[in-house]
Amino acid sequence: MTLLTILRYPDPRLHTVAKPVAAVDARLRQLVDAMFATMYEAAGIGLAATQVDVHERLIVIDASDKRDQPMVLINPEIIWVSPETRIGEEGCLSVPGIYDGVERSLAVKVQALDLDGKRQTHEAEGMLAVCIQHEMDHLLGKVFVEYLSPLKRNRIKTKMIKQIKDEARDAAGR
């Protein structure tokens, strides 16, 4: 199984706005498989195509404890959010090692195509609802650290740039 490279913040490509998926076909199914493999390998609960440098409206999620409830959202649209919100700790495969509080709606309804090209409505709450909102942001070119204060964001940016440099240096010295 091909593993895809996950873009790391502050890579400017993470700020690309995704275009709709044109066709649910073999190419897309292959991409979905590779995205799931990449997400499970990285122990993440969600991955947006934006994060693997594919700028199409596609998300894979598995927010279950047993990692056995894969969910594919193609051309997703949030059609309802609960007025109740909560601040919860979030992380992101594109910002490894960083966790901080973000305010999200407690529950959402999202409409999306499935792998058969059929439109489905999903109702989500708790961790799944948070994950859907987080991944939907990626499709709009938004990373969760953008909800934090400029001071925190700049610290994270500096830390990430150093982390990427250190890794490149370690790889070169191997």
Query: Which residues are part of the catalytic machinery?
Result: 135
What's the CA gap between 142 and 146, in Å, rounded? Answer: 7
Number of residues counted as binding Ni ion (CB under 5 A): 1
What's the CA gap between 37 and 103, in Å, rounded? Answer: 29
In the bound state with Ni ion, the residue whose beta carbon lies nearer, of 24 and 59, is 59
Q: How far is the CB of 173 from Ni ion (least distance, A)?
A: 30
Please report whether residue 92 would count as binding Ni ion according to CB under 5 A: yes
Q: Could you tell me which residues come within 8 angstroms of residue 130 by beta carbon, excluding any fewer than 6 positions away?
A: 88, 90, 104
Q: How far is the CB of 23 from Ni ion (least distance, A)?
A: 26
Please report whether residue 102 would count as binding Ni ion according to CB under 5 A: no
Per-residue contact track with Ni ion, 34 to 73, x per CB under 5 A? ----------------------------------------
Which tokens in the block code for residue 64? 């279950």
Q: Could you tell me which residues come within 8 angstroms of residue 56 by beta carbon, excluding any fewer than 6 positions away?
A: 18, 19, 20, 21, 22, 49
Please report whether residue 145 would count as binding Ni ion according to CB under 5 A: no
| Interacting residue ranges for Ni ion, rule: CB under 5 A | 92
